[in-house]
């Protein structure tokens, strides 16, 4: 077994000294699911307003910086139906940023001056 830095071992992540210094915002967002991951379609993210995208990317960069010490594996994601059977993904492929998925009409748009926040 190869030597690994202590901060990359599973025990370092979940051991007796590991405490969570924050509130339960993420836990509450996931509600009562047992989901261990959050999967977001790139086409949806790229369709969000520019201001939202900039904020989201800034947060992703912060997250990367905070946890750059972890040994991240690669992941593979497949769409499934309510019974766990594989299905064709109903969300279109991002097509190098050319796919646009409009948000629901009542969704706030931080890039619009008409939403009362500008």
Asked if the model's pLDDT at residue 13 lies above 50, the reply is yes
Residues 6+ apart with CB under 8 A from 95: 43
**What is the sign of the dihedral through the CA atoms of 116, 45, 87 and 32?**
negative
Tens of pLDDT along 17-75? 566 666 788 888 999 888 899 999 999 999 999 999 999 999 999 999 999 999 999 99
Residues paired with residue 86 on neighbouring β-strands, in sequence order? 80
Please give the pLDDT value at position 111: 83
CA separation for the pair 43, 16 (Å, rounded): 40
With beta carbons less than 8 A apart as the criterion, state whether 47 and 103 touch. yes
What pTM was computed for the model? Answer: 0.70
CA separation for the pair 96, 43 (Å, rounded): 9
Please give the pLDDT value at position 113: 63
CA separation for the pair 114, 118 (Å, rounded): 7
Using pLDDT thresholds of 50, 70 and 90, give the confidence band for residue 112. confident
Locate 68 and state its tokens: 């750059």
**What is the sign of the dihedral through the CA atoms of 93, 96, 101 and 106?**
positive
């Amino acid at each position: 077994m190869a030597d690994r830095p202590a901060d990359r071992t599973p025990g370092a992540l979940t051991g007796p000294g590991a405490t969570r210094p924050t509130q339960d915002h993420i836990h509450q967002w996931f509600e009562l699911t047992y989901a261990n991951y959050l999967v977001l379609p790139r086409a949806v993210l790229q369709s969000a307003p520019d201001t939202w995208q900039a904020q989201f990317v800034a947060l992703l960069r912060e997250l990367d910086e905070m946890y750059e010490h972890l040994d991240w594996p690669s992941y593979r994601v497949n769409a499934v139906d309510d019974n766990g059977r594989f299905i064709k993904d109903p969300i279109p492929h991002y097509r190098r940023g050319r796919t646009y998925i409009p948000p629901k009409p009542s969704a706030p748009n931080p890039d619009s001056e008409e939403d009362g926040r500008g």
